[in-house]
Structure 1
């Protein structure tokens, strides 16, 4: 409790919005704090585990992380408030998963000329059911999750088949190749670090990919799992089909955490729901220079960012454009929102 008291003192003492304007700061009132401070999940997750990063980093945008899948139930009043504010919804009523009929997609290559789109990527996050998220996880659990995932990936058929590269003990040759391919994730985000994201680094982390480097699985990066389908050019249909096939194959071996009305549960509440992010790297040097560019994207529920991720700049007029909404729509609708936008 002393840890929680210190965290609450720092968070509640910060002036809004000058010193802290995170969603956590806006949603966690004294009344709500008193209501939740003594609660625990069955995996021993506490309120302190959920707010630690946001209290230590007053410049956080969100500031709240789930300690484990049960956090969304045990600390429901706080998580619901943050979720509604971030996802801009009045009620939390996420539909059941629906990837559409991938044998009858009404889209394929969205840039047949190849003049605009450099590459296409679709990813989802998943959490192993019954395991804590980074704030409460431990070395044994991370190793166990990596082992289970590696065994599941070993059963992938056809073009999905590949090899798992464990970060612990990785050879310099493999490490350099993964860096060159922009596949290797790092431990350099202080907000994630303060939420336990890099504990026991690099133990229990791994990257799986097929020989063509078009299907990847990240293990214990931020979420327990990230599944990624990608390729050069604009064939969204091929990328999406490959991802759905990969998810369906891995679901035969692994059980993922989800909750009715919330969809698939993730470490950060900004990703839950479909957890789906579909993006293209697209050349738009003229459009991106218009003063109303960001507003234009906002109206289409699109999110523009630099090609090296959030908070990075565009390079040569190439932007990463993705669907912004994760919650309150199906996976198929999320893909269509990016495509039509």
Structure 2
């Protein structure tokens, strides 16, 4: 299979498309946590409880109210290999925790993969909507519609005072987590990132790495999300996050302008060297790949690099991950083999852009 054919089949819509402010905001995501009344939380449930939850969700997903929102498919973790489950993690469609739930876990995917529903993760249901660019309102609107459709078929665990009940107390209330994935190389290179992130945390937001809580931040990518789920409406949560994100966008753009004005030659050299390494390296690890991709995307956004798709950072930050490389290669690869395969994939991907420009 050619790389272009593989990418057409493997890439989610959020990976391929652009959106508002997407020179800095790569994705917007809304996740809604829900639990079914009468069942223990997943950490305490028995095998029979887990099966009953999956069957109840399967019936709800098959209802006409859900059919009006798109084409959905339920997939049980036990029917997938460990490699396939990890591919879904790398595509940001499920969490690493769900990927470990081989016996009790399941997922519901919409055909465009903008929507995924995790079953029997930390909560019985985690409805996730992920959109390209700054589209928090769109993500919430879709998540809310799916939540309403499911609630018309299922009885949620709900308290008149506390709201929706969740396994973790920090999610009680609305059960909503809204987040954006931001590319902030200007703030990192200018030395302002720690000050900005401290300010963000002081207004009730959390900053995490690329795969959420507990993950590292590679390639100057930061996930900014709400921490408070109780005492505010869903609209207030998304609006507050959006307001802070716009401030970060302004600071990042100012930082990029300052870097370009202060030492354009040094910046051009940095991004050009990174492009050269990606274009010609014969082996490269994940961390360096993300660092070099960040430089190249910055160069594209500032007009230093021409003829390369701006979406290459989103695309390659997923397709160069370990499980994806092994899926594309159709075999298990050692760490060293992955480094070689990763470099080859990047070289080939850059050639595809070059061929399009020449054509």
TM-score normalised according to structure 2 size: 0.57
- In the alignment, structure 1 residue 167 sits paired with structure 2 residue 77: yes
Aligned residue in 2 for 1:283: 183
CA-to-aligned-CA distance 1:14-73 (integer Å, 9 cap, x gap):
xxxxxxxxxxxxxxxxxxxxxxxxxxxxxxxxxxxxxxxxxxxxxxxxxxxxxxxxxxxx
Kindly report which structure 2 residues correspond to 1:36-51, keeping only aligned pairs within 5 A, or say none.
none
When residues 275 and 184 of structure 1 are mapped into structure 2, their CA distance, relative to the original with a 3 A threshold, is closer
Shift of 1:141: 0.6
SS at match of 2:42: coil
Aligned residue in 2 for 1:125: 33
CA distance, structure 2, for counterparts of residue 319 and residue 310 of structure 1: 11
CA distance, structure 2, for counterparts of residue 141 and residue 298 of structure 1: 38
2:218 is matched with which residue: 315, 320, 337?
315
- In the alignment, structure 1 residue 296 sits paired with structure 2 residue 196: no
Q: Which has the higher contact order (CA 8 A, sep 6+)?
A: 1
Aligned residue in 2 for 1:153: 61
Shift of 1:273: 1.0
Shift of 1:113: 4.3
- In the alignment, structure 1 residue 261 sits paired with structure 2 residue 185: no
Shift of 1:295: 2.3
TM-score normalised according to structure 1 size: 0.60
CA-to-aligned-CA distance 1:268-311 (integer Å, 9 cap, x gap):
11111111111111122233542422321023322111112113
The count of corresponding residues between Structure 1 and Structure 2 is 222
Contact 2:88 2:94 survives alignment (8 Å): yes
When residues 112 and 185 of structure 1 are mapped into structure 2, their CA distance, relative to the original with a 3 A threshold, is closer
Shift of 1:203: 2.4
- In the alignment, structure 1 residue 213 sits paired with structure 2 residue 113: yes
CA distance, structure 2, for counterparts of residue 253 and residue 233 of structure 1: 32
CA-to-aligned-CA distance 1:163-212 (integer Å, 9 cap, x gap):
011012335785465245233444599xxxxxxxx7xx422310111010
Aligned residue in 1 for 2:104: 204
**Structure 2 residue runs without a partner (length 5+):** 1-18, 245-359
Shift of 1:222: 0.8
SS at match of 2:58: helix
- In the alignment, structure 1 residue 233 sits paired with structure 2 residue 133: yes
RMSD of the alignment, in Å?
A: 2.5
SS at match of 1:300: coil
Aligned residue in 2 for 1:142: 50
1:328 is matched with which residue: 227, 231, 253?
231
Contact 2:35 2:123 survives alignment (8 Å): yes
CA distance, structure 1, for counterparts of residue 92 and residue 24 of structure 2: 21
When residues 176 and 303 of structure 1 are mapped into structure 2, their CA distance, relative to the original with a 3 A threshold, is closer
CA distance, structure 2, for counterparts of residue 319 and residue 136 of structure 1: 33
Contact 1:159 1:210 survives alignment (8 Å): no
**Structure 1 residue runs without a partner (length 5+):** 1-110, 190-197
SS at match of 1:218: strand
